[in-house]
Amino acid sequence: MIGIVGYGSYIPWRRIRIEEIAKVWKQDAEVLKRGLLIKEKTVPAKDEDSVTIAFEASKNALKRAQINPEDIGAVYIGSESKPYAVKPSSSIIADALGISPIVHTADYEFACKAGSESVFVSYSLVKAGLVKFALGVGSDTSQGAPRDALEYTASAGGAAFIMGSENIIAEVIETFSYTTDTPDFWRRDGQFYPNHTGPFTGEPAYFTHIINSAKGLMEKAGVSPKEITYAVFHQPNGRFPLRVGKRLGFTKEQLEPGWIVPEVGNTYSGCSLLGFTAVLDIAKEGDIILLTSFGSGAGSDSFLFRITKRLEEVRGNAPTLKDMLNRKHYVDYATYAYLRGKILMGKEG
């Protein structure tokens, strides 16, 4: 049996409401909230970045895994908002967590799918018997351009998973990936904000890849939606995951626990993974969980998990996503713009 030994989530303390952003651009907040099905999103502090978020999530994962960090043989981190264009985040995490120096690490990028990739590679390495434990993390503090639709959704957060072959809390039953070259959303090197293609990001990108990946997984594993307890999809806004879930044959009850975007926003590489941690925060022994990520460019990774009884034993060792959702602090647009580096400061600023 190979699977998750420990999981951890992290979101920042600060939030901004949709109304605050809409006010500045003189857009209709109620229309936006109804259209996006998002109320507010997380905002990172000036001293947070995708590395600090990855560390906190990984720390929580270690608390649940209860293993010696030195036994982790690989660390992979996926992000599209790495603090350095050249210099790995994974080496910082590996050193800071006490995993270094006998470890293999790498940074992954695949838009919002980079986190699930890290998990996929971690799982594969353990399955191949090359390492005892491997840590896969998805973490982002992505930017949305001012006045752009993405400004309402791009937020910060991360999730970490330690994969192993003993003391499993969620067994990996099957995986299935679906990838094509589809330029729905991208950011060129040196550019501060990303570009996206509006409606093209829907059917040809998000829906095609998620549906093909999820269907492919269910076929390969020989399961139908009815036999799955919960399904978690990538959540760029509140509507897409509900729509794709319905198209795949899932009910609202199956989608609800993993549907966290209304209060968190889209945490990019952390997104579907954070939704998955919200499910792990409440899942019971025997539950079957489908997780399908989506990364623009484009691709989807699907996983099928079965929960073991150990989950309930270790779950309480670290805070749940709900614990973090309950501790929050609202900021106004000016503070948000400052924190996100959107204000042109002077030399001594």
Partner 1 sequence: MFTIPRIWREKKQRYRLEGSKCKKCSYTSFPPRKVCPKCGSEELEIIKLPETGKILTYTIVRNAPIGFTEFAPYAVGVIELEDGTRMLAQIVDSNFEDIDIGKKVKLVFRKLFSEGEAGVIIYGHKCKLI
Q: Is 45 in the site for partner 1 (CB under 8 A)?
A: yes
Q: How far is the CB of 100 from partner 1 (least distance, A)?
A: 9
Which of these, 126, 127, 107, lies nearest to 117 by C-alpha position?
A: 107
Q: Is 297 in the site for partner 1 (CB under 8 A)?
A: no
Q: Is 47 in the site for partner 1 (CB under 8 A)?
A: yes
Nearer to partner 1, 57 or 289 (CB): 57
Catalytic annotation present for 234: yes
Nearer to partner 1, 91 or 201 (CB): 91
> How many Cα atoms are found within 13 Å in the side-chain-facing hemisphere of 39?
7
> Tokens standing for 178?
């679906």
Catalytic annotation present for 80: yes
| Residue selected from 9, 42, 52, 153 as contacting partner 1 according to rule CB under 8 A | 52
Give the span between the Cα atoms of 93 and 81, in whole angstroms. Answer: 15
Give the span between the Cα atoms of 145 and 171, in whole angstroms. Answer: 39
> Tokens standing for 290?
């489908």
* Choices 47-55, 71-79, 199-207, 262-270; region in contact with partner 1 by CB under 8 A: 47-55
Q: Which position among 196, 234, 263, 271 bears the catalytic label?
A: 234
Nearer to partner 1, 13 or 193 (CB): 13
Query: The dihedral of CA 187, 340, 161, 220: what is its sign?
Result: negative
Q: How far is the CB of 329 from partner 1 (least distance, A)?
A: 7
Please say whether the beta carbons of 66 and 98 come within 8 A: no
Q: Is 51 in the site for partner 1 (CB under 8 A)?
A: yes
* Choices 19-27, 49-57, 203-211, 291-299; region in contact with partner 1 by CB under 8 A: 49-57
DSSP helix/strand/coil, 158: strand
| Residue selected from 3, 6, 8, 12 as contacting partner 1 according to rule CB under 8 A | 12
Q: Is 172 in the site for partner 1 (CB under 8 A)?
A: no
Which residues ranging from 80 to 99 are in contact with partner 1 (CB under 8 A)? 83-84, 92, 95-96, 98
Q: Is 48 in the site for partner 1 (CB under 8 A)?
A: yes
Which stretches of the chain are assigned E, i.e. beta strand? 3-10, 14-17, 40-43, 72-78, 104-108, 133-141, 156-164, 170-182, 185-186, 195-196, 230-233, 288-292, 297-307, 329-330
**CA end-to-end span of the chain:** 54
Give the span between the Cα atoms of 22 and 16, in whole angstroms. Answer: 11
Q: Is 49 in the site for partner 1 (CB under 8 A)?
A: yes
Please say whether the beta carbons of 88 and 108 come within 8 A: no
Q: Is 271 exposed, middle or buried (0-12, 13-18, 19+ CB in 10 A)?
A: buried
Q: How far is the CB of 338 from partner 1 (least distance, A)?
A: 9
Give the span between the Cα atoms of 303 and 117, in whole angstroms. Answer: 11
Q: How far is the CB of 155 from partner 1 (least distance, A)?
A: 16
Q: Which position among 112, 117, 151, 196 bears the catalytic label?
A: 112
Q: Is 349 in the site for partner 1 (CB under 8 A)?
A: yes
Which residues are near partner 1 by CB under 8 A? Answer: 12-14, 45-49, 51-52, 55-56, 59, 83-84, 92, 95-96, 98, 329, 345, 348-349
Q: Which residues are catalytic?
A: 80, 112, 234
